Amino acid sequence: MSNTIEAPAGVAASAATGQGAALVVSGLRIKYGEVEAVKGIDFTIAPGEFLTLLGPSGCGKTTTLRCIAGLEAPSGGTITLDGEVIASADRQTPPEKRGINMVFQSYAVWPHMTVEKNVGYGLKGMSKKDAASRVAEVLELVGLAPYAKRYGTELSGGQQQRVALARAIVTRPKLLLFDEPLSNLDAGLREQMRFELLELQRTVGVTSVYVTHDQTEAMSMSDRVALMRDGVIEQLDAPREIYRRPATEFAANFIGRANLVRGTVDAARTSVRADGVAVVADEPYDGEGTHVTAVFRSENVVIGADAHAYENTWTARVERVAFLGRHIDVALRLPSGVIRAEVPADTDVHVGDEVTAGVRARDVHFVPAQEG
Amino acid sequence: MTILDRAEPVVDQPDGTATTSVAVPPAGRRRALWRRPSALGVVVFIVLLGLVAGPVAMVFVGALQSSAPGLPDNSFSLDAIYRVYFSGEYYASLFGTLVMAVSVAALAVVFGGLAAWFLTRVNVPGRKIWEFGLIVPLFLSPFVGALAWMMLAAPNSGMINVNLRWMLGLGQDAVFVNIMTLPGVVFVMLLFYIPYAYLFISSALKNMDPSLEEASYMNGRGTFATALKVTLPMMRPALVASFFFVAVLATGVFVIPAVLGLNTSFSPLAVEVYRAMTVFPARPPVAAALGTLLFWFTLGGVYLYRRSVRNANRFVTVSARGTRPRLVKLRIGRHVAAVVFAIYVLLAAVLPYLVLIVMSLSPFSITDFRRMTFSFDGIIEVWSRPDVSTAFVNTIWLGILVPTLTVLVGLAVAYVVVRERGRLGAIVDYLGTFPIAVPGIVFATGIVWMYVRSPIYATIVIITVALIGAYIPQAARFASAGLIQVDKSLEEAARMNGAGKLRTITTVTFPLLRPALLSAWTLLFVFATREVNEAVILSGPKSRPLAVLAWNYVEQGSIRNAAVVGLFLTVVMVVGILFARFVLRAKLDSSNL
C-alpha cells in the first residue's frame, strides 16, 4: 500500500470553484484492539462535493468520519486533504491543525458559553472586530442573530443544531463533517433542517462528508453516497444510480424496498429462472457466476390488464392488501416466493384474487445472489 | 467523600434528551486499545511516581533497614521485620486494631444504613435538616471531636463524671461514663464515620428504581417486607462497600485512639507506628515494618471494597427522572427517627464544640460546674504565643496550597484515566487510587525515608507534598465523576474549532467541571487544615500546623491550651468553608460529595 496518494489531477483542477478541498481516503483501516471497525476503504471527494457515508449501525461510517476529523487514529492507509497527508498509521496531524470542522450528533454546544461565544470560539488570532463581524454574519446566515447573547442550554434542539452548524462553518474549514446531525430532531424539524442544511452547504460551497443511517437523508442531500457494511464500502455512486443499479442484494434492500428473485441466469445472461418464474432484463448480467438475483422495485410492479404488455408477466395470488392512502401495498404469491407491489389507490384488488402482475424488462436489474 | 467509583447516573448531553444511563465502571468499559501515551499522560505518570509510588516503596525499604533514615551506618537488616511480624510483640495490638476496625465498620453500616433508609424512604419531620446534619461531621475535625469527648467523658476529670458525682452525691471514685476505653474509641470513631456509610448507602437508595419497590407493594407486601426483601438485597453491594471503606479508615486512623487511648493499655497499630517513630528511643525501621503490616490489612480491605463497588454498579438501576420513591408513612417511627437524628447531631457536632468553648474560657481545666469561672485570659495568652502564630500561618498555607494543587493533579489524573485511557491510563488510575490503601501515618513514614536528606525535610513543603500525594484519590474521584458526565463531543468540538489540548481543557473542560472541582477543593481544604496523621510525623517546630500543635499540647497534658488551639483550628475551618460556600459558591450537599 503506497503511503502518498496524490489527489487526481481532474479533482485538483476544479478546486478553484468552491472554498472546499479535495479529500482522498486510501486503504483506510481502523482497529479497536482486536476488532477491525474499518477494513480498508477508498474514496475520493471532489472540492465542493457532498458525500454521504450511509449504512446500518456498526458499519464503520462514524469511525471513518472521526478518523478523517483526527479524533481516531488509523491502523493503516492514508487520508489526504488538499494534497497533504493528514493521517497515516505512523503520523497523524492533530485535529485542530487539519482545517476541518464538524457538526456533532449531540450538537456539543458548550453550555457555559453564549451562542456568540460558541460560534466565535474557533476564530482565535483574529482581531476582535473581524471576529465579531464574522460571527454576526454567520449567525445571520443560520437565522440565529436574535439569540446571540443566549446560552446554549436556553435554546431548542433545532436552534442548538443551528449553533453547531454556525460554529462549524465560521472557521471556513476546507472540509465539513456531519455526524448524524439530524438524528436527535423530531420528524418535522428533521425534514426542514435537511433542506436548510443542504442550502447552506451549497451557499458556502464547502466539501462535506455526511454520516447517516437514514436513507432518505442520504438520497435527498448527497451528490454521491458511499454505502457501507461491516467496515467496507459496498457501493459508491450517485443516489439515483444506487437506487436504479444496486451492486449487491444488500444495496438493493437497504435503499428503497426491492423485490428479490434468486435463480440461475441463462446463457444469454438476460433472464433469471427460479421455480417456474423467469425474470428478464434489458441489460445483460455482467457479473460472475450463474447464481443471480433479479431486483425490481415494488413501485414498478403493475397489476391487471396493463401487465400483459410487459416483458415479465406472471400470474399471482393476492396474499395481503394494505391501504396506505396514496397507494395500496399488495403482497403477491408467485411460485418462487412473495413479491410486493405498490399500486394506485383506486386499483380493485382483494385477498385471494388471481391477478396478472408485470414488470418492464428495463426496470429489472441483476445482482450476484448472496450465498445462503 | 473518599469513596471511589460511586455509581452515578450519567445524563446524556445535551439536556433535551432524557435518556439516562448508568456509568459503567472504568475497568469494564476500557477497551483494550493501545495508543501512544500523550505528553500529559507521561507527565502525570511521573508526578504520581514521585508523589505516590516513591513514598510507598520507601516504607518497604525502610522496614529493611537497621536504623533511622539518613544515618551513615544504616544497612540492610531483617530485625524490624522479625520484631513486627514474628516476635509476637505486636500481636495484641494487631488483634485489637482489627476488632476495633470491624466493630466500627459494622456499626457505622448499621446506623448509616438506617439513617439513609429513613431519610430517603420515610416522611421524617425536618428531613432537610437531618440530611445536612448527617454530613456536617465530615467537615469537622475528628481530632477536635476526640479532644472534646475526652474533656466530656474522661473517667476522673471528665465533665460528665465530675458533675454527676456532686449532683448525685456520690464519692470521688464514681465513674458514669468512660470514653478512654475501646468502646469509647469506637463510639467517637462512629460519630465521624457514620456519615461515610450514610452517603454511600443513601446515594444507592436514591439511584434505585422506585418501581422495584412499587412492584413489591402491588404484590401485597407491606413496608417492612419490602424494605427487607427488596430494598435490602439491592443495597447489599453498597453496604459491603461502605463496610470495607470504613474498616480501612478505622484501621489507619491515629489521632482518635491516640487522644482517647493514652491512659489505656490498648494501643492500635497506627499509634504504635507513631510511638516507634517519635518516642525516644525512636526506631524508624520498626515504624516502617509496622506500616507494612498495617498496609496489608488496608490493602485487603480496599481490594474487597473495590470488588463490591464493581458489583454495586451492576446493581444500580436508574429509571426515567422525576419518579420519586413512595414515602413510607410511619406515625410514631418518624418522630423517633427525628429524635435519634437530633441526638446524633448533638453528640457529633454540637456538644463537642460547646465543651471546647467552655474549656477554652475556663482557666485551669476545671470541669466542675460549681467552681467554673470564665475569662478570655487563656485564649489571649495562647494566641500571643509565637508557636501559635507560626502554626496559624502553616495551617493557612496548607489550607490554600494543598487543595489547590491536589485538585489540579487530580484533574490531570482523571483526564488521563477517563479521556485518554489506554494502558497508561490504567496504570495512572491504579497509582492515583493507591493512597486510599495507605494510612496517613504510614504514608508519612515513607515520605520521611524518601526526603530525609533533601532540603525540604522538616519544612512545611514536605507536609504539602505528603498531603497532595495522600489526597490525590479524592480529587481524582470528584474530577472523574464530573468528567464522565461531560459529553466527550464538547471537547472534540473545541479540537475541531482549532483549539489544542491545553486550550480545550482550560476553556471547555475546566469551566464545565468547576462545580465538581469546587466541591473537591472545599473538602480537601477541610482535610488539609485538620490533618494530624501525617503532619505529626513530618513537621518540625517551625512547620507545625495548628492541629499538630494542639496534639502536642495534649501530649504535654495541657488540655486547656489544646482546647484553645482546637478552637482556633475550628475557626479557620469554618471561615474557609463559608468562603468556599458563599464566595466561590461551592455546592456542599450530600449529592455532591
pLDDT-based confidence at residue B317 (cuts at 50, 70, 90): very low
Give residue B24's pLDDT: 34
What is the rounded CA–CA span in Å between residue B299 and residue B437? 5
Give residue B421's pLDDT: 76
Q: Which H/E stretch holds residue A212?
A: strand A207-212
| Residues in chain B within 8 Å Cβ distance of A96 | 495-500
| Phi, psi of A277, rounded to the nearest 5 degrees | -120, 135
Question: Sign of torsion, CA B375 B379 B380 B381?
Answer: positive
Q: Which H/E stretch holds residue A329?
A: strand A327-334
Q: Is the pLDDT of residue B365 over 60?
A: yes
Give residue B230's pLDDT: 82
Give residue B108's pLDDT: 96
Q: Which H/E stretch holds residue A327?
A: strand A327-334
Same topology between domain A9-243 and domain A257-368: no
Instruction: For B422-438, give the secondary structure using H, E and C.
Output: HHHHHHHHHHHHHHHHC
CB B548 within 8 A of CB B538: no
Query: How many beta carbons lie within 10 A of that of residue A99, not counting itself?
Result: 17
Contact between A112 and B31 using a beta-carbon 8 Å cutoff: no
CA B112, B118, B120, B126: dihedral to nearest 10 degrees? -110
| Residues in chain B within 8 Å Cβ distance of A33 | 31-34
Contact between B492 and A104 using a beta-carbon 8 Å cutoff: yes
The answer, yes or no, to whether the previous bond of B14 is cis (omega within 30 of 0) is: yes
Q: How far is CA B231 from CA A24, B86, B103, B309, B590, in A?
A: 58, 46, 24, 17, 20
pLDDT in tens, chain A (372 residues): 334 333 343 333 333 344 678 999 999 999 887 889 999 999 999 999 999 999 998 899 999 999 999 888 899 999 999 999 999 998 888 888 899 999 998 888 888 889 999 999 988 888 999 999 999 999 998 889 999 999 887 888 889 989 999 999 998 999 999 999 888 888 888 888 888 888 888 888 899 999 999 988 999 999 999 999 999 999 999 999 999 889 999 999 888 888 999 999 988 888 888 888 889 998 888 888 889 999 999 999 999 888 888 999 999 999 999 998 889 999 999 988 899 999 998 888 899 999 999 999 999 999 998 875
What is the rounded CA–CA span in Å between residue A176 and residue A45? 12
CB B134 within 8 A of CB B337: no
Contact between B490 and A101 using a beta-carbon 8 Å cutoff: no
What is the rounded CA–CA span in Å between residue B424 and residue B415? 12
The closest alpha carbon to A235, from A215, A217, A260, A205, belongs to: A215
| Residues in chain B within 8 Å Cβ distance of A112 | 511-512
Paired sense of beta strands A291-297 and A23-32, if any: unpaired
Contact between B16 and A184 using a beta-carbon 8 Å cutoff: yes
CA A138, A139, A143, A148: dihedral to nearest 10 degrees? 180
For residue A152, the distance in angstroms to the closest alpha carbon of chain B comes to 9
Q: Which three cell numbers stand for residue B588?
A: 456542599
Q: Is B19 on the interface with A (CB under 8 A)?
A: no
| Residues in chain B within 8 Å Cβ distance of A164 | 493
The β-bridge partners of A45 are A23
- DSSP-assigned letter for residue B172: T
Contact between A95 and B496 using a beta-carbon 8 Å cutoff: yes
Q: Is A167 on the interface with B (CB under 8 A)?
A: yes
What percent of chain B is modeled with pLDDT above 70?
A: 89
Give residue B13's pLDDT: 34
Q: Is the pLDDT of residue B589 over 90?
A: no
Q: Which three cell numbers stand for residue B295?
A: 498496609
Give residue A44's pLDDT: 95
Q: Is B512 on the interface with A (CB under 8 A)?
A: yes
Paired sense of beta strands A175-179 and A207-212, if any: parallel
Q: Is A91 on the interface with B (CB under 8 A)?
A: no
Smallest CA–CA distance from A177 into chain B, residue:
B496
Instruction: For B11-42, give the secondary structure using H, E and C.
Output: ECCCCCCCCEEECCCHHHHCCCCCCCCCHHHH
pLDDT digits (tens, 9 = 90+) for B406-438: 999 999 999 998 888 788 888 898 888 888 888
Q: Is A69 on the interface with B (CB under 8 A)?
A: yes
Q: Is the pLDDT of residue B367 over 90?
A: no
What is the rounded CA–CA span in Å between residue A276 and residue A273? 7
Q: Is the pLDDT of residue B8 over 50?
A: no
| Residues in chain A within 8 Å Cβ distance of B489 | 104-106, 108
Q: Is B35 on the interface with A (CB under 8 A)?
A: yes
pLDDT digits (tens, 9 = 90+) for B463-507: 999 999 999 998 998 898 888 888 888 999 999 998 888 899 889
What lies within 8 Å, CB to CB, of B93 at 6+ separation is B266, B267, B268, B269, B272
Closest Cβ opposite residue B497 in set A107, A121, A153: A121
Please name the residues between 325 and 354 in chain A that touch chain B, using a CB distance below 8 Å: none
pLDDT-based confidence at residue B381 (cuts at 50, 70, 90): confident
Q: Is A154 on the interface with B (CB under 8 A)?
A: no
Smallest CA–CA distance from B501 into chain A, residue:
A96
Contact between A160 and B16 using a beta-carbon 8 Å cutoff: yes
Mutation target to probe the A interface, by most A beta carbons within 10 A, among B423, B492, B496 is B496
The β-bridge partners of A209 are A51, A177
> What does pTM read for this prediction?
0.79
pLDDT digits (tens, 9 = 90+) for B65-113: 887 777 777 778 888 888 888 888 888 888 888 999 999 999 999 999 9
Please name the residues between 284 and 303 in chain A that touch chain B, using a CB distance below 8 Å: none
pLDDT digits (tens, 9 = 90+) for B390-408: 999 999 999 999 999 999 9
The β-bridge partners of A119 are none
The closest alpha carbon to A60, from A82, A84, A83, A43, belongs to: A43
Q: Which three cell numbers stand for residue B498?
A: 482549532
- Is the ipTM above a cut-off of 0.90? no
Give residue B312's pLDDT: 54
Q: Which three cell numbers stand for residue A291?
A: 447464481
For residue B422, the distance in angstroms to the closest alpha carbon of chain A comes to 10
What is the rounded CA–CA span in Å between residue B73 and residue B205? 58
pLDDT digits (tens, 9 = 90+) for B236-274: 888 988 998 899 889 888 889 888 875 556 788 888 888
For residue A304, the distance in angstroms to the closest alpha carbon of chain B comes to 50
| CATH numbers and ranges of domains, chain B | 35-64+374-593 (1.10.3720.10), 93-361 (1.10.3720.10)
Give residue B592's pLDDT: 59
CB B93 within 8 A of CB B267: yes
Give the helix ranges, DSSP H, for B316-385. Answer: 333-345, 351-361, 377-383
CB B495 within 8 A of CB A70: yes
Q: Is the pLDDT of residue B455 over 90?
A: no
What is the rounded CA–CA span in Å between residue B572 and residue B550? 14
CB A79 within 8 A of CB A67: yes
| Boundaries of every domain in chain A | 9-243, 257-368
Q: Is B487 on the interface with A (CB under 8 A)?
A: yes
Give residue B171's pLDDT: 78
What percent of chain B is modeled with pLDDT above 90?
A: 29
What is the rounded CA–CA span in Å between residue A97 and residue B415? 22
For residue B20, the distance in angstroms to the closest alpha carbon of chain A comes to 15
Give residue A289's pLDDT: 84
Mutation target to probe the A interface, by most A beta carbons within 10 A, among B497, B508, B510 is B497
Paired sense of beta strands A258-265 and A23-32, if any: unpaired
Q: Is A184 on the interface with B (CB under 8 A)?
A: yes
Superfamily for the A9-243 domain:
P-loop containing nucleotide triphosphate hydrolases (3.40.50.300)
Give residue B198's pLDDT: 93
CB B593 within 8 A of CB B135: yes
The closest alpha carbon to B158, from B182, B187, B178, B173, belongs to: B178
CB A332 within 8 A of CB A339: yes
| Residues in chain A within 8 Å Cβ distance of B17 | 184
Give residue B311's pLDDT: 60
Q: Which H/E stretch holds residue B143?
A: helix B142-153
Give residue B18's pLDDT: 33
Q: Which three cell numbers stand for residue B160?
A: 460528665
Q: Which H/E stretch holds residue B225?
A: helix B223-226
* Domain covering A257-368: architecture: Beta Barrel (2.40)
Please name the residues between 45 and 64 in chain A that touch chain B, using a CB distance below 8 Å: none
More confident residue, A187 or B125: B125
Give residue B189's pLDDT: 94
| Phi, psi of B180, rounded to the nearest 5 degrees | -90, 55
Q: How far is CA A178 from CA A48, A188, B351, in A?
A: 14, 20, 63
The closest alpha carbon to A245, from A216, A301, A283, A289, belongs to: A283
Query: How many beta carbons lie within 10 A of that of residue B403, not counting itself?
Result: 29
